[in-house]
Structure 1
Amino acid sequence: MAPHPNEFDQHRIERALARRVRYRYVAPRVVAEAGGYKVESPCCSRNVDTEGDVIDIALIQYDAAERLWCLSRKNHKAGEWLLVNVFGTLHELLAVLTEDASRKFWQ
């Protein structure tokens, strides 16, 4: 497996986000981060940022030692990332992120 971040997985994440359920009318961006990827997007609901500026949505990191994908959401009030769950595959992680049934990510 290629080290992270890498262009292949970044494109997989971008393609999956295009199929997301919530806030389909904004264009999220996937940014390479040490050990993974950060998803950011304009705040269209204005719940987090009343000006509609770009906010952090999710942090996706790969733990090479454990061979697991970690998905975190941003606690915007505290300014910190909170681990939501770990997954065996990127595909499983992206299914949770794009569905976001409990609105943990797309607030």
Structure 2
Amino acid sequence: MNAAIIRRHHSGLPAHPNELDRWRIVRALTRRERYRYVSPKVTAVAGGYLIESPCCSGNIDAKGGLAEVALLHHDRTGAAWQLFRKDHGNDIWQWHSTHQRLGSATAVLNADRERLFWQ
């Protein structure tokens, strides 16, 4: 994934990030199953959205600072959402899954049964 690439549609403006989808992600995250007592931050980045959250568990940041949770990247060529998780030990993003709809990607992120995102 090359996060520096911004795909453009007819108007010449980037399709993603945009404020509407950023708010859709913010709203979807209210239904997550882990760390419901913290307020995640959703930031627009080239081609998608970065999700960060205060680290209350101390697993990533013992001081409770912001931890990178997930990266959602919109692939215009396949009209799909790529969901990435952060490998904090190696400080790299790892591809997790591909989804045709934003709602499907946020559903996986919200369930996080294996604790790959909300650590």
Partner of 2:27: 15
Alignment-derived partner of residue 70 in structure 2: 58
Provide the rounded CA distance (Å) in 1 between the counterparts of 2:25 and 2:90.
Answer: 26
Note if 1:4 corresponds to 2:16.
yes
Are residue 102 (structure 1) and residue 111 (structure 2) matched?
A: no
Q: Hey, what does 2:54 align to over in structure 1?
A: 42
One-letter amino acid of the counterpart of residue 36, structure 2: R
Deviation at 1:44, TM superposition (A): 0.6
Question: Please, which runs of 5 or more residues in structure 1 have no aligned partner?
Answer: none
1:76 aligns with 2:52: no
Structure 2 equivalent of residue 85 of structure 1 = 97
State the TM-score, normalizing by the size of structure 2: 0.87
Q: Distance in 1 between matches of 2:39 and 2:106?
A: 16
| Percent identical | 48
Q: 1:33 aligns to what?
A: 45
- Give the 3-state SS of the residue equivalent to 2:52 in structure 1: strand
Specify the SS of the correspondent of 1:27: coil
1:71 and 1:44 map into 2 onto residues whose CA distance is 23
RMSD over aligned CA atoms reads 1.1
* Regions of 4+ moved over 3 Å: none
Q: Within 2, Cα distance between the matches of 1:81 and 1:103? A: 15
